[in-house]
Structure 1
């Protein structure tokens, strides 16, 4: 989802003044672009913005590049589906021409990094080739999970992994062939982010210009090039003091009342005086599956020790929810409002991702959250005597 863009009007100085700065200059002529419409340029990570207004179907934008190249969202008007484009910028010039009113089918030209970005966008396009196939498989996967058909979902996931591997092989070759391109930072941090070892290997093979880009500098030096997206202090494992929009350790646990699979309303207050592990999950959540054995073990080990486990599903379809409980033999209390991400308990607990869990003490206060793998048993052993 594209964040709201904040307009910032840049005063136009002399060309000599710009020549002394490290800037990216974008000029555009789109024959049917709507005059007097605002064009925004926005760096999603830092929030850096620039804006201008279309006059005579033309516009010009200038963005400071003192921190090196990065990826920006460029938006004509307020409809991202109609007027949005993802662009890579670094010091230099980009020119955009087209017969339409927006960026679709427009021609992007200019310095070498413009051509390089266009090549990568072509390789990863969701409108053709493996990009299109991957998008189709992703849609099929989500539809299968919505109805609880995990076998079909796993088949689509396997096919998607094969397509993803092919795409990564192509992008790896591109990086190796363009070791000094700033665009490599986008490829490495987006398409290889799950494999830190490979990210490091690809980074080590880059030239100085590529390494100096804002994207890779931000990855190598978190919080120094730009403020971190999420600044938080970690204490012991599972004891996060708090994140924006989340409750903190030591806070009173928000009350909730949610129906179980039979429609019976269950409240947190029903377990007053007990340790309660609230686990947010969903039938369509792939990363939730590896956590299930740890939840089963914890439930079996502590269920007779003043402890209760409460699963809260973020499913929106009952059939999928019930099928998943049966298939994975989730034999602890499970609740769901069947409102998906609209579940009020998830919002109250700041569960903006799943799996996510919260351990509540007998006094009704938060003891820990996000206890994954062996950390769950470790924390319960320490807490429940």
Structure 2
């Protein structure tokens, strides 16, 4: 589950909706009063007579033009923004470069190349914007290390070396935890800056649920009227429905014969909901391990409820047969638009959710040795 997607490390492309506007944000939610204006000034190394320098506001699902900025003959610009609440913005430089900003009370100064997406940019004066770029730097370093692990994983997969693949996965888990700790430390440093709502996008919401809950309470106390707080709290509350210890929402989908089978029909057993697909290579590579564990523990009360995210019945049924998956299978053949995937916030597979005999969630995303270890704890 991802949270408030106001900004992105990648360049966002939008159309120029209008040439000019009043200079006020289209967002009418103004819960926090702030007198005065934010002063925006800057210089562009490569100004252009084609296109505009445009200030845009980034919303939850949209980007709105605030105003066009006049660039003087000396390649500088100045603008005064009426800004009653902190918000996410960006400068669109001729559709060639984008400069992300978080604007609140501090005036901001910008130096930019203006001629290419990865051109030089320097933003000063805005603490919130500094946080934004510090988070991006953390994620850039993390992604570089992940890319190296991906190369190792692809080689191990090509060699069908399960031990090496598990080693890479273990290294990734350690790297992910280290990065999450750095992100949480940075978020704590931010206090009530709305930059925190950007940073949480890079945390694993499942693994970091306890921290996100604490963060939601912190913002409810210290920034209760902000729409960003309200949206974040709503999303954490939604996520809480799938937290460890919660009753798993029921699923009712057709099996290969067309008969509807409910997840709750397996109540009384330890049940693993297994989101997978015939086209998913990591899923298929994990299947022999799941088959082995199912055979070992099925007579002790272990069941699997396989939810396929396939598109065609033929692919789905053939994969069940080829991999000898002898447990309950259901699918609405809607890929990631599956009702069950939406219900459980599944954005990637393989994904598993382990339930106790009463249908309560006790673990998530177990596979390989971690699944084997958990089942050994349960069944001895």
Using structure 2 for the length normalisation, give the TM-score.
0.53
Superposed counterparts of 1:110-259, under 5 Å: 110-122=125-137, 124-126=138-140, 128=141, 130-138=142-150, 140-141=152-153, 150-191=162-203, 193-194=205-206, 195-205=208-218, 213-221=226-234, 237-238=250-251
2:348 corresponds to 1:351 = no
After superposition, the Cα gap between the structure-2 partners of 1:218 and 1:90, relative to the gap in structure 1 and judged at 3 Å, is farther
2:324 corresponds to 1:331 = yes
Identify the residue that residue 95 of structure 1 maps to in structure 2: 109
After superposition, the Cα gap between the structure-2 partners of 1:23 and 1:200, relative to the gap in structure 1 and judged at 3 Å, is farther
After superposition, the Cα gap between the structure-2 partners of 1:50 and 1:144, relative to the gap in structure 1 and judged at 3 Å, is farther
CA distance, structure 1, for counterparts of residue 47 and residue 86 of structure 2: 27
CA distance, structure 2, for counterparts of residue 138 and residue 101 of structure 1: 32
Identify the residue that residue 377 of structure 2 maps to in structure 1: none
- Give 1:29 deviation, angstroms: 1.9
Identify the residue that residue 49 of structure 2 maps to in structure 1: 35
- What SS does the corresponding residue of 1:37 show, helix, strand or coil? coil
CA distance, structure 2, for counterparts of residue 294 and residue 90 of structure 1: 57
CA distance, structure 2, for counterparts of residue 65 and residue 147 of structure 1: 57
Deviation larger for 346-355 or 190-199: 346-355
- Give 1:159 deviation, angstroms: 1.5
- What SS does the corresponding residue of 1:237 show, helix, strand or coil? coil
For structure 2, which runs of at least 5 residues remain unmatched after alignment? Answer: 1-9, 25-32, 237-248, 263-274, 300-305, 312-317, 343-350, 360-380
Identify the residue that residue 8 of structure 1 maps to in structure 2: 17
Is 1:70–1:88's contact at 8 Å kept on the other side of the alignment? yes
CA distance, structure 2, for counterparts of residue 291 and residue 64 of structure 1: 60
Matched pairs, number: 287
After superposition, the Cα gap between the structure-2 partners of 1:47 and 1:325, relative to the gap in structure 1 and judged at 3 Å, is same
Is 1:179–1:205's contact at 8 Å kept on the other side of the alignment? no
Using structure 1 for the length normalisation, give the TM-score.
0.52
For structure 1, which runs of at least 5 residues remain unmatched after alignment? Answer: 224-235, 240-248, 254-267, 302-308, 315-321, 334-345, 358-369, 379-385
Is 1:70–1:213's contact at 8 Å kept on the other side of the alignment? no
Q: What's the RMSD between the two structures over aligned residues?
A: 5.6
Is 2:309–2:334's contact at 8 Å kept on the other side of the alignment? no
- Give 1:331 deviation, angstroms: 0.9
